[in-house]
């Protein structure tokens, strides 16, 4: 077996399909978008070469794009909190119970397998104001004014609602990963801590959670990656609105390219998304690597 | 080796079946059509002209691309027409449906860019029809209608709506005739002490106030769909200037801050949004939900139209509903047409593939279009013909409103460039939500065109 894997042909057989697929669907797309970003083009008709003009406009005069960058960071931060820390909390709680654990684990995981469109439809109904959805109906029981509380149509809340819905959907996924990591922590470590007089709380804080730190970091990277590129939740729940209140970089890119029919400009936004994602990923990896080496 | 070959064959068969299944909605078997130049010439001769004879056809299939779903009006009409025509001629047909405006536009752009448009395709009058015209992909529908004698039967406002702004030709065939009007709940009007329908926007706002005071929702609007609030923004400029204001604005010759009709429209949207005349959370309600809300018994007024007769029929027949046209702008000269009339999404015919068979289909379509409109899509026919018997009463009662209309509705969606439209949509949501003042709105949108 060892011999077989050492052979170049075998290695290539395993590596080449993934490499080719990745190159064709990721690298070529990025390069293609980079090429289009130097043109003024409506998607039909003649392309006019404008050099770096799209980037200059994007970085100097486009206040909406700047707003979308901050929205995306806020959105990502909320998702990290819900998915990573929420997932970890749920996993810890799950690891502490014996009864109904499998049932609860399955229930928490259900949103992960439901499609994004269906989840957004469900939340649209839940957050509905006219007619009042379940949330407003329940709130209305406490205070009649809360029955017409706006969620997705309130510019002050729309971004957070969209982030919450995405966080809710994937919380179960990260919970399962954390749970698997937590139960894999060697029992002798926990037992040693308990023998030394540690409480259950301290056991988690000083033994189990530090032990699964690589898993936490890996999950953070996954959530960062997913949230920075998130599109469908904001798009389906609010369409980036009202106004631009829940506009993310991706929805803005889509609007520029496909609604405003500015393919060149939309491509420039797409390239900026790639650069920002790479930048954030690089900084995060650098930060976590330095911390690990310490 | 045999296993490998078998696997390859199975894989190929699976791939082929997947590709065949992609996007295809309907396909009917049949032998290839043996249309000849003689049959085409005969068809042209019948229509009184020889010049329009299309090339002979050896086609086996007619392809179409439409926006919407199988319950959509365009599909309902063309599925019926194509199935009947193709069955008669032994042809196949294939209708590709794309749901959602943006997705449809993207798909159509792909076809335009690659110059591989289907035989018939949905196309609005504006940037997309201009792009098709630029690559010489459009049949002159006006000339074809003149050839087969249907041009004069077409409603004038519909022709006006679809006429190309640059060369004045008619390249598009209407999806139907749509007229829009306000419907209102008679019982709520009565409770609020409103005895007459509003004739001006001032009266409209006054009625909204009265309705609001009795605890009812004055107006239901699907504010999540861009065009709904945009209607309120465009009513006043349309009544006062027709298409002039918006065309002038797009050309950089008109501004919202200087045009009185536009200013009154901006104030109207702001007032209705901030005074609670629209339903709570209206910016998260789409048009379908708004329709369900109103016809489900919520709200006093709803901007509806002939496309929703099926939903309004029962309440109207029970005497619960009334209707009124777009009010006047007080203190300004309003044009006589007060019912927005348009032709829907429209269809174009691919010039590259327009052969004798397609010409025959075109004539078949004109002959049977009204029937398909009333029987299948439940919409008005764009041809000025007597209404058939047995339709819901609302058809007969609303038709006089647009019988004498001579000016088409000016759809801002079609007249504004895509980027300006997208930007205005964002601002109108802020305006209706009270996040910006009318003055801020005017100043901002005036910077969108240079």
Residues B328 and B356 in one domain: no
Residue B84 lies in a domain: yes
| pLDDT band of B408, cuts 50, 70, 90 | confident
Question: Is residue B34's pLDDT more than 70?
Answer: no
**Quick one: B68 and B93 in the same domain?**
yes
Determine contact: B376 vs chain A, CB below 8 A: no
User: What is the pLDDT, as a whole number, of residue B22?
Assistant: 38
What average pLDDT does range B239-255 have in this prediction? 93
Q: Report yes or no on A9 lying in a domain.
A: no
The SS3 of residue B25 is coil
Q: At what angle do helices A28-36 and A263-293 cross, to 10 degrees?
A: 130
| Rg (chain A; Cα; Å) | 23
- On whether residue B152 sits in a domain, the answer given is yes
Residue B128 confidence (pLDDT): 86
- Indicate if B438 and B326 belong to the same structural domain: yes
Chain B touched by A261 (CB under 8 Å): yes
Q: Does residue B397 belong to the interface with chain A, where contact is any CB pair within 8 Å?
A: no
**Percent of chain A surpassing pLDDT 90:** 74
CATH number, domain with residue A252: 1.10.3720.10
Amino acid B401: pLDDT: 84
Subunit contact A241:B102, Cβ cutoff 8 A? no
Among B107, B111, B284, B285, which would you mutate to test the A interface (most chain A Cβ atoms within 10 Å of its Cβ)?
B284
Closest CA to A246 of A117, A64, A120, A124: A64
Residue A231 belongs to some domain of the structure: yes
CB nearest B418 (choices: A238, A242, A260):
A260
Is A82 within a domain? yes
Domain span holding position A77: 51-293
For residues B188 and B168, state if they share a domain. Answer: no
Residues B76 and B53 in one domain: yes
**Please, what is the average pLDDT of chain A?**
91
Is A243–B422 a contact, with Cβ atoms under 8 angstroms apart? Answer: no
**Beta-sheet pairing, B120-122 with B92-98:** unpaired
Q: Which residue of A has its CA nearest to B418?
A: A260
- Percent of chain B residues past pLDDT 70, beyond the cut: 87
Residue B401 in domain: no
Contact B414, B126 (CB under 8 A): yes
Cβ–Cβ below 8 Å for A238 and B284: yes
Question: Which of B330, B333, B361 lies closest to B347, judged by CA?
Answer: B361
One domain, residues B128 and B231: no
B220 to chain A nearest CA, in Å?
Answer: 10
Q: Is the pLDDT of residue B381 over 50?
A: yes
- Contacts of residue A6, Cβ cutoff 8 Å, sequence gap at least 6: none
Domain hosting B85: range is: 24-177+344-385
A91: Cβ–Cβ under 8 A, 6 or more apart, which residues?
A174, A175, A176, A177, A178, A179, A181, A182
**Looking at chain B, which residue has its C-alpha nearest residue A123?**
B284
Q: What is the mean pLDDT of chain B?
A: 87
Mean pLDDT confidence for B344-372: 95
For residue B386, the 8-state DSSP code is: P
Tell me if B172 is assigned to some domain.
yes
Distance from CA of A264 to the nearest CA of B (A): 12
Do B39 and B173 share a domain, yes or no?
yes
Q: Is the pLDDT higher at B4 or at B205?
A: B205
Residue B320 and residue B229 in one domain: yes
Whether residue A286 has pLDDT greater than 60: yes
User: Same domain for B281 and B196?
Assistant: yes
Is residue B391 in some structural domain? no
Once rounded to an integer, what is the mean pLDDT over residues B400-406? 78
Work out the average pLDDT over B137-152. Answer: 96
- Residue B270 inside a domain? The answer is yes
A206-210, B219-223, B259-263, range with the lowest pLDDT: A206-210
User: Could you tell me the CATH number of the domain that includes residue B291?
Assistant: 3.40.190.10
Domains of chain A: total: 1
Average pLDDT estimate for B217-246 = 94
Q: How far is it, in rounded angstroms, from Cα B249 to Cα B261?
A: 13
For residues B333 and B358, membership in a common domain is answered with no
What is the interface size between A and B, counted as CB pairs within 8 Å? 92
Quote the tokens at residue B242.
């027709």
Report yes or no: B444 at the A interface, CB cutoff 8 Å.
no
Q: What is the ipTM of this complex?
A: 0.81
Does residue B40 register a pLDDT over 90?
no
The Cα B195–Cα B217 span in angstroms is 18
Is B335 found in the same domain as B200? yes
Contact B431, B273 (CB under 8 A): yes
Distance to chain B for A129, nearest Cα, Å: 5
Give how far Cα A194 sits from Cα of A178, A204, B443, Å: 22, 11, 69
Among A47-61, A86-100, B181-195, B390-404, which stretch is predicted with the lowest mean pLDDT? B390-404
DSSP assignments along B77-132, one per residue: HHHHHHHHHHHHHT-EEEEEEE-SHHHHHHHHHHHHHHT---SEEE--TTHHHHHH
Q: How far apart are CA A263 and CA A66, in angstroms?
A: 19
Position B4 pLDDT exceeds 80: no
- How high is the pLDDT of residue B184? 97
User: Coil, strand, or helix at residue B278?
Assistant: strand
> pLDDT tens digits for A187-238?
899 889 888 888 989 999 999 999 999 999 999 999 998 999 999 999 999 9
Residue B323 sits in the same domain as residue B363 = no
pLDDT higher than threshold 50 for residue B23? no
Tell me if chain A has a CB within 8 Å of the CB of B230.
Answer: no
**pLDDT of A163 over the 60 cut:** yes
Q: CB–CB of B433 and A129 under 8 A? A: no
State whether B223 and A153 contact (CB < 8 Å): yes
Contacts of B102 in chain A (CB under 8 A): 254, 258-259
pLDDT, greater one: A22 or B171: B171
pLDDT over 90 at A81, yes or no: yes
Domain count, chain B: 2
Mean pLDDT of A102-124: 94
pLDDT band at B55 (very low <50, low <70, confident <90, very high): low
**Residue B245: inside a domain, yes or no?**
yes
Given this model, what pLDDT does residue A294 score? 56
Give φ, ψ of B66 to 5 degrees: -130, 155
Q: Is residue A43 part of a domain?
A: no
Q: What one-character-per-residue DSSP string does chain A give?
A: -HHHHHSHHHHHHHHHHHHHHHIIIIIHHHHHHHHHTTEE--SSS--EE-TTHHHHHHHHT-HHHHHHHHHHHHHHHHHIIIIIIIHHHHHHHHHH--TTHHHHHHHHHHHHHS-HHHHHHHHHHHT-TTTT-HHHHHHHHH-GGGGG--STT-TTTHHHHHHHHHHHHHHHHHHHHHHHHHHTS-HHHHHHHHHTT--HHHHIIIIIHHHTHHHHHHHHHHHHHHHHT--HHHHHHTTT-STTTT--HHHHHHIIIIIS--HHHHHHHHHHHHHHHHHHHHHHHHHHHHHHH-
Q: Is residue A76 part of a domain?
A: yes
Please give the DSSP secondary-structure letter assigned to residue B377: I
A38 lies in some domain: no
Q: What is the mean pLDDT of residues B212-241?
A: 95
Residue pair A194/A106 in contact by the 8 Å Cβ criterion: no
Among B100, B273, B283, B449, pick the best mutation site for testing chain A contact (most A Cβ within 10 A). Answer: B283
């Amino acid at each position: 077996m060892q011999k077989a894997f050492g052979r170049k042909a075998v290695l290539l057989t395993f590596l080449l399909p993934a490499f080719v697929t990745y190159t064709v669907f990721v690298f070529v797309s990025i390069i293609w978008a980079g090429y289009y970003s130097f043109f003024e083009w409506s998607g039909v008709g003649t392309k006019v070469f404008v050099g770096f003009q799209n980037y200059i406009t994007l970085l100097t005069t486009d206040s909406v794009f700047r707003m979308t960058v901050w929205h995306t960071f806020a959105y990502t931060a909320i998702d990290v909190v819900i998915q990573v820390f929420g997932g970890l909390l749920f996993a810890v709680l799950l690891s502490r119970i014996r009864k109904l654990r499998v049932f609860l684990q399955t229930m928490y995981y259900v949103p992960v397998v439901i499609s994004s469109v269906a989840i957004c439809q469900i939340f649209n109904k839940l957050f509905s104001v006219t007619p009042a959805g379940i949330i407003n109906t329940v709130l209305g029981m406490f205070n009649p004014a809360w029955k017409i509380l706006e969620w997705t149509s309130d510019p002050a809340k729309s971004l957070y609602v969209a982030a919450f819905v995405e966080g809710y959907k994937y919380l179960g996924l990260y919970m399962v990963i954390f749970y698997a990591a937590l139960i894999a922590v060697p029992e002798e470590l926990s037992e040693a801590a308990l023998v030394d007089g540690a409480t259950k709380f301290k056991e988690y804080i000083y033994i189990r959670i530090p032990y699964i730190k690589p898993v936490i970091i890996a999950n953070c990277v996954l959530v960062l990656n997913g949230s920075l590129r998130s599109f469908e939740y904001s798009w389906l729940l609010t369409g980036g609105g009202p106004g631009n209140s829940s506009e993310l970089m991706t929805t803005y890119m889509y609007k520029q390219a496909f609604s405003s029919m500015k393919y060149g400009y939309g491509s420039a936004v797409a390239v900026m998304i790639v650069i920002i994602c790479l930048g954030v990923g690089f900084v995060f990896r650098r930060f976590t690597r330095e911390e690990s080496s310490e | 080796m045999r296993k490998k070959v078998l696997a390859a064959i199975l894989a190929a068969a699976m791939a082929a079946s997947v590709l065949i299944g992609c996007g295809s909605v309907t396909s009917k078997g049949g032998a290839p059509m043996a249309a000849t130049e003689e049959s085409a010439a005969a068809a042209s001769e019948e229509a009184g002209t020889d010049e329009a004879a299309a090339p002979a056809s050896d086609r086996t299939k007619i392809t179409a691309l439409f926006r919407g779903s199988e319950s959509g009006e365009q599909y309902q009409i063309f599925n019926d027409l194509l199935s009947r025509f193709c069955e008669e001629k032994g042809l196949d047909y294939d209708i590709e449906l794309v749901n959602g405006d943006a997705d449809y536009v993207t798909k159509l752009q792909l076809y335009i860019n690659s110059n591989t448009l289907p035989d018939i395709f949905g196309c609005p009058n504006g940037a997309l029809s201009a792009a098709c015209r630029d690559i010489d992909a459009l049949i002159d529908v006006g000339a074809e209608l003149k050839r087969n004698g249907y041009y004069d039967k077409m409603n004038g406002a519909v022709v006006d709506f679809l006429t190309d702004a640059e060369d004045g030709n008619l390249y598009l065939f209407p999806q139907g005739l749509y007229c829009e009007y306000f419907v209102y709940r008679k019982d709520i009007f009565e409770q609020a002490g409103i005895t007459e329908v509003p004739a001006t926007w001032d009266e409209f706002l006054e009625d909204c106030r009265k309705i609001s005071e009795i605890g009812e929702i004055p107006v239901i609007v699907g504010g999540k769909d861009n065009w709904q609030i945009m209607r309120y923004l465009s009513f006043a400029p349309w009544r006062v200037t027709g298409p002039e204001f918006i065309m002038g604005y797009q050309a950089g010759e008109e501004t919202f801050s200087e045009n009185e009709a536009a200013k009154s429209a901006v104030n109207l949207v702001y007032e209705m949004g901030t005074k609670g005349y629209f339903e709570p959370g209206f910016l998260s309600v789409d048009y379908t939900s708004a329709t369900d809300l109103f016809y489900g018994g919520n709200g006093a007024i709803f901007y509806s139209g002939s496309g929703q007769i099926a939903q309004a029929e029962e309440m109207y027949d029970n005497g619960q509903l009334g209707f009124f046209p777009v009010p006047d702008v007080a203190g300004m000269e309003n044009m006589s047409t007060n019912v927005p009339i348009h032709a829907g999404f429209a269809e174009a015919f691919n010039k590259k593939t327009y052969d004798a068979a397609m010409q025959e289909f075109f004539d078949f379509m004109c002959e049977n279009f009204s029937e398909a409109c009333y029987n299948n899509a439940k919409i008005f026919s764009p041809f000025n013909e007597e209404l058939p018997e047995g339709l819901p009463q609302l058809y007969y009662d609303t038709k006089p409103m647009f019988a004498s209309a001579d000016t088409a509705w000016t759809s801002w969606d079609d007249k504004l460039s895509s980027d300006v439209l997208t930007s205005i949509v964002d601002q109108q949501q802020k305006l209706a939500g009270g996040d910006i003042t009318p003055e801020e709105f005017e100043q901002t949108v005036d910077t969108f065109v240079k």
